[in-house]
Structure 1
Amino acid sequence: MNASFKKGLLASVLAITATSALAAGSVDIKVAGKIQPSSCTPSFPSGGGVADFGTIKVSSLNSTSATTLPDIKTVPVAITCEEATRVGVTFTDTRASSSTTTNYNKVFASTGFGSTPEFYFGLGMYNDKKIGVYALGIAMIGATDQDGGILDPIFSNDSGTTWTGRGQEYLQIKNNNSEIYSFSAHGDASLAPKPSSKINFDVAVSAIINPTNDLNVTDEASLDGLTTVELVYL
C-alpha cells in the first residue's frame, strides 16, 4: 500500500471518528404527560334505578284505548366527579323496537311529559305484541349541586353549542340520544352548564299500556322498559 493511499485512508478514518464523536456529544430532552378530564360516575342513590309500577290488574286497563298508569314514578340520579366538571347525560331506548309511532299527545300532554313519538320509550313485548310506552322527564325542581345550590335542567340539540330549557314540571327527554341534558345555576340567564363535583336530580317516569283487546293478556305480562343513561363531558 503506497504512502498517499495510507494517508487518505487515515484521513477518512479520522473524519468518521470525529463525526461519531460529535454525534455522541448531544442528547435530547423529551417532555411527556397527559391532560385528562376529571372522572365522573353516575349512580342511583336509592331504588337501584328501577321505576316499579307493581302489579297491574287487567281489569283496571282500557280494552279499546290506551291506559295511562295512575302513578308517576321517580328515579333519583347522582353524578359524582373528582372535581368541578361540566357534564351532561344522554338517554337511549334499548327497547326501541317495542315503541310506537302512534301519537299519544292527548294522554301524555296532561302529565307534562313529551307528547309525540320521539319522546316515547318502549315497554317490551308480550306474545309479539307491543305492551306500551313510557315517557321520561327531568324534574324541573329539586336538582342540586354539591353545596346544595339549586340547578336548572337544560338541554342541547347541537352537541353542546347552544343550550335552552323546555317544559314546566319536567324537561322532556327524547328517546334517541339526539339531545344532551345538563344543569345550569338557578336563574343563570346564559343557561350555561355549571361545573359541579356532584349533581343530584330526579327522572320521572309516566307509562301507558296499549289496549288490552290488542294485547290479549292470558298470562302474566312483564313491563320491560330499559334506558341507557350515558355521561357526556362538555
Structure 2
Amino acid sequence: MPAIELTNVSKVYGNHKNKFTALNNINLTVELGEFVAIVGPSGSGKTTLLNIMGCMDSPTRGECKIMDRSTTGLKDSQLIHIRNRVVSFIFQHYALLNNYSVYDNVTLPFAERKMSKHEKKEKAKQYLSKLGIEDLFHKKVKNLSGGQKQRVAIARALASEAEIIFADEPTGALDSTNADKLMEILCNLNNEGKTIIVITHDSHVASYANRKLFMKDGSITFDEPLIVQKEA
C-alpha cells in the first residue's frame, strides 16, 4: 500500500482572468518507508504539493490518496484526524508555542486521546529522550536554541505516532552543524520505518534522501531514482 498517491493533481489559484497554476497534472506515488526530497526553487510548487499531500489544501483537479484513502470529499473533521494521526509536520520556523514548556508542546498531539497525565508525561519523556533532549522537559520553548527547538518539533511530530512525516525546509533556520544533525535524525527515523518527505531548495539536504524529485513551474521534471533504474 502506498503512503501517498497523487493522480492527475493540479492546483489553480484565482479566476479565469487572473489565474495561477501552482501544480500542473502531478502523478506521484510515494511508498511506505521511502525517504523523498522534493527540490526546487521558490515558486516551483513544492510547498503547494506538500500542502495537498498533508491535507492542508485540496487539489483543483485530480485525486490525492493517503494510506490508500482518497481525501476527495472528506469532511473537515476527517481531514483534521488525518493531520493529527496519519501525517505529521516539521516546519522551518518550528511552529511551537514559545511561552509554553517543552512538555506542553510535545503533548499537543495527545489532546484528542484518552490518556492519563502520567501516560502523557512518560510518552513525552520517551520521545525527548530519543532525541537526546529529555533535560529540556520543563524549559520554556522561548529559552531554547534553534537546534533545540527543531528537536522539540521533531519530538512533537513523533508524538502523533504518524507513519508519514513531512518536513518543510526543516534546516532553513539552522546552521550547517545543526542542519546535518537534524538530517541524521530524519535518516534514523526513516531507518525505523517512517516515511519521510522533505521539501528543500538545498541540494546538500536533498542528498540525505534516497529519492529526489525536482520541480519547476508546477511540474515534476526529474525523478532521480526512477531514471537511474531505467538506465541500469
TM-score, length of structure 1 as denominator length:
0.24
Q: Give the structure with higher Rg (CA).
A: 1
The structure in which a higher percent of residues are strand is 1
The structure in which a higher percent of residues are helix is 2
TM-score, length of structure 2 as denominator length:
0.24
